[in-house]
Amino acid sequence: MKTLQKLWWLTFLRGVILLILAFFVFRHPVNALMGVAIYIGISLLITGILQTAASIGFKDLFPNWEYILAGGLLDIVFGFVLLSNPALTASTLPFVVGFWIMVSGIMSFSDAFQSKKEGNSLWALSMLGGVLSVLIGYLIMSNIVVGVLTITTWMGIGFAIAGIVNITIGLKLKSLK
């Protein structure tokens, strides 16, 4: 705890940086989405390289190392594709996110029926959440502008909340005796 108290300013600084990042996301949502697209491409490239190296280097440990190798090579290819055209990646993100939200909504909706059979009194809430998720996912998928604004707004809100929390923790650590 003493070390955290001495380094309170790092937590405070992280909070300030997160608030600045939130401001940037709200001010430039398209650029923020492009940044996410580039981040995803780089992440796929790195994980693909590591997975490929691990599958070759430790093939004695993995009985089906060829599948791991194939997955790593696919990640590398997708990473290069995403990085070669970040604008295309950014424009497809709302579709991917919307589709993911719709699928999770459908799963929640269908789980509500099982919850009802099991006597869970909150099954209707799960059903409502599933329906709302499907509708929100559809809205994100059907209108790119709405999708971009939705994704970047939630990113900005997340950065802002994390920034405020970090600043608060940093100030609390500073004031501890």
Q: Residue 91: its pLDDT value, please? A: 84
CB 41 within 8 A of CB 79: yes
Q: Does the structure show a pLDDT above 80 at 4?
A: no
Q: Residue 59: its pLDDT value, please? A: 86
Q: Does the structure show a pLDDT above 80 at 3?
A: no
What sign for the dihedral angle of Cα 145, 131, 133, 87? negative
Render the burial of 138-160: b for 16+ CB within 10 Å, e for the rest: eebbeebeebbbbbbeebbeebb
Q: Residue 1: its pLDDT value, please? A: 64
Residue for token pair 């940037």: 24
Q: Does the structure show a pLDDT above 80 at 173?
A: yes
Instruction: Name residue 166's amino acid.
Output: N
CB 123 within 8 A of CB 112: yes
- 107 band by pLDDT with thresholds 50, 70 and 90: very high
Q: Does the structure show a pLDDT above 70 at 134?
A: yes
What average pLDDT does this structure show over 70-84? 92
